[in-house]
Chains A and B, each alone.
Chain A
Amino acid sequence: MRWYAVCLAAVVVALAFLLLPVVAIFVHTSPSHLVDQLSNPVVRDAFVVSVKTSVLAQLLILIVGTPAAYLIATHRFPGRALVITLVELPLVLPPAVAGIALLAAFGRYGLIGTSIGFTQTAVTVAVAYVASPLYVRQAVAAFEATDPNLAAAARTLGAGPGRTFFRVVLPLARGGLAAGLALSFARGLGEFGATIMFAGSLQKVTQTLPLAIYAEFDQNFDATLAMSGVLIVISIVLLVGLRIGLGWQRSNSTQSSSLFGLSASS
């Protein structure tokens, strides 16, 4: 009983510690002040830049990451573990290192010299670089969790590989893929270090919400609170979406195994 009380106290302390800073953002100034700040041009422009670059980056990640993840999940080849590890590398790189790496690779005098520095393309590249591992990792897991017998059954019933992928595998994995995308989107939206080093910071062009928060914090604290509030709301939406996505996949796989009397492979 005493242990139970100790654990309960620990939960309360942990929750308070994690939630207090988030709550503080919303109670530091009056809500009407925060809402007013949403029409501040700096806030609006940063929001537009953030959404635009994030959506573009996630599209890129989806288009390249999905087939890549499917191949990795369904094939056993030499060096597979190495490939998975390398894909995850940007995930553990400190953001500042990612920024330096992008400069060294795609900077004007980089390994592959480009002139995308200081453009929205550079922001998109930075976001895609740091966020894609989250999607690919989750997508590999989602594809691995789909029952290969179902895809095999579809093939024996005459469906081609493309039809099998889009009609059988993708619907089975979509919960996990959505969860991966939500994680990747959240990470990309919060991108700071790589962006400021590789793309710079200019209102309406490369200044994303995190960059604007940093630039404004000594100038207009209310604006930084408003932008933080916006990011928190988006994060909560993504988190809830993530729960739903993962829950959905789980119920999906139980359903499929009960339907076909096959045990779901892990």
Chain B
Amino acid sequence: MRLAVCALAAAALLAGAAQAATTRITVYAAASLTDVLPKLAPHDRYSFGGSNALAAQIEAGAPADVFASANTKLPAQLHAKGLCSKPVVFARNELVVVVPSRNPAHVTSLRSLARPGVKIVVAAAGVPAGDYTAKVLARTGLEAAIERNVVSRETDVREVLAKVALGEADAGFVYATDARTVAGKVKVVRIPARAQPVVAYGACIVSSSKHGAAASAFIRSLLAPRGQATLLRAGFLRP
């Protein structure tokens, strides 16, 4: 009896190990990809977070196979240091302002964010969403007034979304795709095209990866028709 249990456990372990060795890779991906990537490749392992934090972890030797960043700067920097392959752009996005569905501060435009007392949450500098937000603010001409209203700088874009969806903050800067994941809880205020930054997602194969072929296949699948269709359905734009 005991022998049978042992054999079964060993078999399960072996099967698991075999599966891990052939197919399962570890993807370090931008927080804004949290919902869409597991739909595309449900069997892989994911670590979602601020792309900047993930890049720092990869630099420190984290066991990632693929890095999917919410900008092209961070993977390009890793590439320049020989830590990952040349990044490819697999999607684009748009920045939007989200407000709680009750919209307590009556935010209807970028201009209304400059009114004193509006509690605005943004992503921190260095976090891609934070850097895009800074670009938008610089183009509005209301930078100083809006900056004064910032009450928190979050470590990734989903933290910004959470604080707005909860109603704790009056407004926040997130990606259009983030807003769709909590549709009933937030309203979207669009940012005019002239203030809109170029939001491009870059993916690369981490040089220390032991599953280079699988990592490369993962990135190809992002660009393949099925991958692109999944990304489009989630609201991302073509690369």
Q: Chain A residues in contact with chain B, CB under 8 A?
A: 103, 107-109, 117-118, 196, 199-203, 205-206, 214-215, 217-219
Contact = CB atoms under 8 A, between A and B. Distances in A.
Contacts of A202: 150-153
A202 B126 CA distance: 14
Contacts of B152: 118, 199-202, 206
Q: Which 10 A-B pairs have the closest CB atoms?
A: A200-B152, A218-B56, A118-B151, A218-B52, A117-B168, A109-B167, A219-B126, A202-B152, A218-B53, A108-B167
A107 B151 CA distance: 15
A118 B153 CA distance: 10
Contacts, number: 55
B153 A201 contact: yes
B211 interface: no
Nearest to B168: A117
A103 B52 contact: no
A119 B163 CA distance: 14
Contacts of B50: 218
B155 interface: yes
**Residues of A contacting B: mostly:** loop
Interface string B55-77: 11000000000000000000000
Given A108-B167, A200-B121, 10 more contacts: A103-B166, A107-B167, A117-B168, A118-B151, A200-B151, A200-B153, A201-B153, A218-B52, A218-B56, A219-B125
B166 to A, nearest CB: 7
Interface of B: 50, 52-53, 55-56, 119, 121, 124-126, 150-155, 159, 163, 166-169
12 contacts: A103-B166, A107-B167, A108-B166, A117-B151, A118-B119, A199-B152, A201-B152, A202-B151, A203-B153, A206-B152, A218-B56, A219-B126
Contacts of B121: 200
Contacts of A200: 121, 151-154, 163
Contacts of A206: 152
A201 B154 contact: yes
Nearest to B59: A218
A131 B52 CA distance: 31
B39 to A, nearest CB: 26
B21 to A, nearest CB: 31
